[in-house]
Amino acid sequence: MSTLTREGRAAGESRAQPRSGDRLSDQHDQQPPDEGATPPGGRPDDAALEEMGNPHHGRAVKDAAARVVMWGAFGAVIVPLVWILYTVVSHGVNLLLSSTWWTNNQRNINSGDTGGGARHAIEGTLMMAGVTAVIAVPIGILTAVYLVEYGRGPLARAISFTVDILSGIPSIVAALFVYAVWVTTFGIERSGFAAALSLVLLMIPVIVRSTEAMLLLVPNELREAAYALGVPKWVTVVKVVLRTAFSGIVTGVLLGLARIMGETAPLLILAPYTKNFQRDLLHGNFPTLPMMINQDRGDIGFATAAERMWGAALTLILLVLLLNVIGRVIARAGSAKT
């Protein structure tokens, strides 16, 4: 059970500690400084105290100042962030309230026209994220399994190092790489799948690192118990280690998905936008929410296009939020075990 505690702390956040610390400090603040104690070197006389400023007074002032600074910083940060959310919601929410937004595409809707919906882009974004996950998740999890359960020595170090490199690749570079392989070398057409491939490159390191962290939390006692019962190693890994770490792994995957769903640069290069439904990932242009935003930004002088742009942005935020909530629910469920 000790691991579960640890995992719970890792996934959720333990609120108990800061809370009790806070209470302690509050009590402390009200206590008068101890006048009776004599510091080493004797107490300074009043004149000296005057000269250096009353130390007790100075400490209290500093403490109060820190409190004010923290509140101020929170206010200063929260203002632009709430401003952003307000901008997106206030401009975009009207479109989201209409039912066609969720059922229709943008076919035959020109920049200056109203109407139509974003279903094509919502579906496209989810499909692309799904395909990316289908490729990246097994590779990522198995790589993490190798690093934690199997790998020792130079190969493991090499893999760990390359995962670091991969996590440093800017999205635009990943896109250029896939374009060079997919289009320039093999002459295959640009498509949703090509974009998904570049997203795979961005997603794998996120999954490897989060899964690795979760696997390291699985206590050795569980593995040893399984081995002692004669369970083969691979069954141990699949049924004991991965299962114990399951909720943490899923959280990592969903957070990785949230991260790639908003990526735009690879789509610009690899998956041109279409206003129609497109469920063929291998042929033709592909609709996605970031590209829909980008397209309508090009005609932002039209109020209709501007509204669509904010609507698509809000939809994208909601999708990402949905994934985050799912991840959080899983994390909460995981930590509930303690």
Partner 1 sequence: MSATRTTVRSAFGVLALSGALLLSSCASENNTPGGSADNASQAGSTGNTGNTGNTDCFSGNLKAEGSSAQKNAIDEAISVFQTKCADATIDYNPSGSGSGIKQFIAKQVDFAGSDSALKTVAVDGLVEADDAAKACGSPAWNLPMVTGPIAVAYNVAGVDKLVLNAEVTAQIFDGRITTWNDPAIAKLNAGVKLPATPIKVYFRSDDSGTTENFTKYLKSAAPDAWSYETGKKWTGKGEGKEKSAGVATAVKGQDGGITYVELSYARQNRLQMAQIDTGSGPVVLNAESVGKTVATAKPTGSGNDLALKIDYATQESGAYPIILVTYEVVCSTYADPAQGAKVKAFLTTFASDAVQGQLEELGYAPLPTAVASKVQTAVKAIS
Partner 2 sequence: MTGVPVVDEKPEPKGNAPLGGDNASTARLGDRLFGGAATASGVIVIAMVTLIATFLIVQAVPALLDNQENFLTSRAWNPGGDQPGFGILEFLWTTVVAGAIAMLIAVPFGVAVALFLTQYAPVWMRGPAAALVDLLAAVPSIVYGLWGLITFAPFFRPIQGWIESTFGWFPLLAQTGITGGTILFIAVVLSIMVVPIVTALSREIFAQTPLAHKEGALALGATHWEMIRTTVLPFGRPGVISASMLALGRALGETIAVTFLVSSLPNGAAWTWSLFNGGETFASKIANNAAEFSNPSRTGAYIAAALVLFVLTFVVNSIARIVIERRKAFSE
Footprint of partner 1 on 131-160 (CB under 8 A): none
**Other beta carbons within 10 Å of 325:** 11
Q: Does 177 bind partner 1 (CB under 8 A)?
A: no
CB of 26 to partner 1, least distance (A): 35
Distance CA(14)–CA(69), nearest Å, equals 25
Indicate left, alpha or beta for 113 from its phi (over 0: left) and psi (-120 to 50: alpha).
Answer: beta
CB of 8 to partner 2, least distance (A): 11
The nearer residue to partner 2, 280 or 325, going by C-beta atoms, is 325
Q: Does 127 bind partner 1 (CB under 8 A)?
A: yes
With CB under 8 A as the contact rule, the residue among 105, 132, 191, 210 that binds partner 2 is: 210
**Which residues, at least 6 apart from 304, have a Cβ–Cβ distance to it below 8 Å?**
111, 112, 113, 114
The nearer residue to partner 1, 8 or 163, going by C-beta atoms, is 8
Q: CA quadruple 313, 314, 318, 321: dihedral positive or negative?
A: positive
Residue with tokens 């493991």: 156
Q: Using the 8-state DSSP alphabet, how is residue 204 labeled?
A: H
With CB under 8 A as the contact rule, the residue among 235, 303, 329, 333 that binds partner 2 is: 235
The nearer residue to partner 1, 57 or 107, going by C-beta atoms, is 107
Exposure string for 114-147, b = 16+ CB within 10 A, e = fewer: eebbbbbbbbbbbbbbebbbebbbeebbebbbbb
With CB under 8 A as the contact rule, the residue among 171, 198, 278, 315 that binds partner 1 is: 278
Q: Does 243 bind partner 1 (CB under 8 A)?
A: yes
The nearer residue to partner 1, 209 or 275, going by C-beta atoms, is 275
CB of 257 to partner 2, least distance (A): 10
**Residue 80 touches which member of partner 1, partner 2, none, C-beta under 5-8 Å by kind:** partner 2
Q: Does 300 bind partner 1 (CB under 8 A)?
A: yes
Q: Does 194 bind partner 1 (CB under 8 A)?
A: no
**Residue 301 touches which member of partner 1, partner 2, none, C-beta under 5-8 Å by kind:** partner 1
**Residue 150 touches which member of partner 1, partner 2, none, C-beta under 5-8 Å by kind:** partner 2
Q: Using the 8-state DSSP alphabet, how is residue 188 labeled?
A: P
The nearer residue to partner 2, 279 or 336, going by C-beta atoms, is 336
Work out the burial of residue 72: count CB atoms within 10 Å of its CB; fewer than 13 is exposed, 13-18 middle, 19 or more buried. exposed
**Cα–Cα nearest to 265, from 164, 177, 139, 205:** 177
Structure tokens at 299: 């005609």
Residue with tokens 């130390």: 55
With contacts defined by CB under 8 A, name the span among 4-12, 38-46, 99-107, 114-122 that binds partner 2.
4-12
Question: Which three-class secondary structure state does DSSP give residue 114?
Answer: coil
- Contact characters 41-80, partner 2, x per CB under 8 A: ------------------xx-xx-xxx-xxx-xx-xxx-x
